[in-house]
Amino acid sequence: APLINIKDISFDYEQTKALDHISLKVEEGDFLAILGPNGSGKSTLLKIMLGLIKPTRGSIELFGQDAKDFKHREWIGYVSQKSNSFNSGFPATVEEVVAGGLAKKSGLFHRFPKDYKESVGEALEAVGMESFRDRSVSELSGGQQQRVFIARALVAKPKVLILDEPTVGIDHQNVQSFYDMLASLNREKGITLVLVTHDVDTVTDKITHVACLNQTIHFHGYKNQLDSMSD
């Protein structure tokens, strides 16, 4: 079964049709870019995939199960757009931020698994940030912070990672190595990646599939994965 199967969904806000009869499958191993200009419905689609809102019409299956019966939300990791403008106002180390991805709330306290140091180390290694473990997150560059937030999502061992505008806040000259890191997560760690962005330059040779919410954008060599019944 596809890991995410969006079946003919629509979403209406009071005045606006944000999504109109959209279908999209995310298969295991995909590195999918969901593209669209501002206002094309990217955030709405993202919220539906994460189970934060329900489609007005249509249905969504996660790992072969109807989304409302799906019990393994931890299989779907998420790195929000706000993450990389993180400024906590208190000094949090890279290790503390990444370990936060493992915390289970228990009353007033957060409990961490016994082997959390090892898990944090593995996640930091996967994003090339193991040597920054004891550094304060606030003193890192935008690109380094974004890697730390990806590690925070990875530490919970998701099967799919959804990234919302991940290159916002990364210096232009560092974007290529950032994509190389994502490609290694995809190819070597087998993590299915869904990147949601308005930035058409994200469509590099690392991307395996493209879904354009704006049907007028076409990319040479890619079929639009998004089936839209509207025109």
- Using CB under 6 A as the binding rule, whether residue 203 contacts ligand ADP is answered as yes
- What is the torsion angle, in degrees rounded to the nearest 10, for the CA atoms of residue 204, residue 205, residue 206 and residue 210? 70
Q: Considering the complex, what minimum distance in angstroms separates the CB of residue 212 from ligand ADP? A: 8
Q: How far is the CB of 44 from ligand ADP (least distance, A)?
A: 3
Residue 12: CB minimum distance to ligand ADP, A:
9
Identity of the residue, 71 or 172, whose beta carbon is nearer to ligand ADP in the bound complex: 172
3, 6, 9, 18: residue in contact with ligand ADP (rule CB under 6 A): 18
Show the DSSP H helices in the chain as ranges: 42-49, 94-99, 116-126, 142-154, 175-187
Q: How far apart are CA 1 and CA 204, in angstroms?
A: 27
Q: For ligand ADP, how many residues bind (rule: CB under 6 A)?
A: 18
N- to C-terminal Cα separation, the chain: 28
Which helix (DSSP H) or strand (DSSP E) does residue 194 occupy?
strand 192-197
Q: Which of 21, 50, 219, 228 binds ligand ADP (CB under 6 A)?
A: 219
Closest CA to 46 of 203, 216, 211: 211
Residue placing its CB nearer to ligand ADP in the complex, 85 or 141: 85
Part of the chain binding ligand ADP (CB under 6 A), chosen from 33-41, 70-78, 89-97, 112-120: 33-41
Q: Which of residues 35-54 bind ligand ADP (CB under 6 A)?
A: 36, 38-44
From 201, 215, 229, 230, residue interacting with ligand ADP (rule: CB under 6 A): 201
**Given the complex with ligand ADP, which of 82 and 218 has the nearer CB atom?**
218
- The verdict on 180 binding ligand ADP (CB under 6 A) reads no
Q: Report the C-alpha gap between 8 and 227 in whole angstroms.
A: 8
Beta strands 160-164; 76-79: pairing state: parallel
Q: Which residues contact 1 (CB under 8 A, 6 or more apart)?
A: 61, 63, 64
- Indicate which single residue of 93, 217, 227, 228 sits in contact with ligand ADP (rule: CB under 6 A): 217
Structure tokens belonging to residue 186: 């995809």
Whole-angstrom distance, CA of residue 49 vs CA of residue 6: 8
Does position 101 interact with ligand ADP (CB under 6 A)? The reply is no
> Least distance in Å: CB of 13 to ligand ADP?
3
- Which positions lie near ligand ADP, rule CB under 6 A? 13, 16, 18, 36, 38-44, 200-201, 203, 217-220
